[in-house]
Structure 1
């Protein structure tokens, strides 16, 4: 990972609003990925294979 200077406001202070928005976006993306993964895990846990029906009796 390379060093990246912090984003600054016009007055030279760190742009807190920018980093707050960035954190919200990253958190949303991570939660969405976790929800998708959880859904797939739950779905596979309850997956039921039905027996094949035989036409000859």
Structure 2
């Protein structure tokens, strides 16, 4: 990981609005990934394979 200087406002203070929005976006993406992973896990747990029908009878 490389060092990045903090994003600053015109007056030289740290741009808190930028970092707040960035955190909200990252949190939303992470929650969406967790939900998709949970959905896939639950879906695979309840996955039922039907028996193959035989035409030889």
TM-score where L is the length of structure 1: 0.92
Aligned residues: 57
Aligned to 1:52: 52
Q: Please state how far the C-alpha of 1:46 moved relative to its aligned partner.
A: 0.1
| RMSD (Å), alpha carbons | 0.9
TM-score by length of 2: 0.92
- Give the distance between the partners of 1:19 and 1:28, measured in 2 at CA: 14
Residue ranges of structure 1 left out of the alignment (5+ in a row): none
